[in-house]
Amino acid sequence: MLIQFWGVRGSIPACLTSEQIQKKIAAVVQRITPADIASEDARQRFIANLPDWLYGTVGGNTPCVQITTNSGKQFILDAGSGIRVLGKNSSFPEDNHYSLFFSHFHWDHIQGLPFFDPVYNPKFSFDIYSPFPNAKQVLVQQMEKPYYPVNWKSLTDKIYFHRIIRGIPFDVEGVKVCCCKMRHPGNSYCFSFTEDGKKFVYATDVELNKEAFEHTDERSLVFQNADAVVFDCQYTVEEAAKKENWGHSAFCSAIDFALKWQIKSLYMFHHEPVYDDFKLNSILKAARKYARFVVNNQFKVYLATEGSVIEL
């Protein structure tokens, strides 16, 4: 399966500011030597070797992750503002059908749905999966006046809702799916997707505590031996201590949790909206240093960035 990130920020969209762009330009200029501009090849090598935080950007859209299965089916995980970009730039599924999974219904995870072009196209169909019994009501209300000028009735009538029972695996388009509840204000649910022996876990909006590390069958079904997990790492350790009960985790706790469940790789996700690319790159370095301290180099830590792709 292929997993692509379209929105990786938490809480609210965060655009690059003029000041941040100027800092990037200044940092690039400081790195240039006469040899770097001696020829076109030299200029291209210089650009290619710039750090990721200078050459690109983590992105500013709120959560949306796309899975393309080995058979070409498309799943969408949450509908933050990133789903608008998905609708503009991703290839549509051949069968014009999407399966949408919602972790919860805080605004940053649903605000992009009214801007997703395919939901207005009668040729498209959608199956929406959620553990919440009022899923349709929440999404309909978001599109009522005065919040939005176009109501739910303007969407395709081929939208079907399915309530998930946590801890019970089920099949969607040949993929085994399972979910479990994690600690977050109003509750949030994590999902695992297993296809051809590869397991991917989407675990946004999680506040880890001692209880989360205790073994339960529900958590084991979702997390145990996963190949990759996308995990809430919004805070530093200091911030997590100050913001107890806000519903998010520090990167070191996420790493400890992933190692407890023998997960092979971690993608830091749900980035704090006030962090710029330099800050996030610094956090990634700290996370990798911590991971090397507690375990060998077989465990990998990455920063979820818009447009990047995981192949399992």
pLDDT at 239: 84
Q: Which long-range contacts (CB under 8 A, 24 or more apart) does 296-299 make?
A: 298/264, 299/255, 299/258, 299/259, 299/263, 299/264, 299/265, 299/266
Whether the pLDDT of residue 265 is over 90: the answer is yes
CA 265 vs CA 8, 37, 97, 189, 300: distances in Å: 17, 38, 30, 20, 5
Give the residue-averaged pLDDT of 246-261.
91
pLDDT at 296: 67
Q: pLDDT tens digits for 210-248? A: 888 888 999 999 999 999 999 999 988 888 778 887 878
What's the rounded Cα separation, in Å, for the pair 270 and 183? 15
Q: Yes or no: say if 206 and 185 are a contact pair by the CB < 8 Å rule.
A: no
pLDDT at 294: 85
What's the rounded Cα separation, in Å, for the pair 15 and 234? 17
Burial of 38 (0-12, 13-18, 19+ CB in 10 A): exposed
Q: pLDDT tens digits for 108-154? A: 999 999 999 999 999 999 999 999 999 999 999 999 999 999 999 99
Q: Yes or no: say if 50 and 81 are a contact pair by the CB < 8 Å rule.
A: no
CA angle 101, 272, 164 (to 5 degrees): 15
Q: Yes or no: say if 58 and 280 are a contact pair by the CB < 8 Å rule.
A: yes
Q: pLDDT tens digits for 4-45? A: 999 999 999 999 999 999 999 999 999 999 999 999 999 999
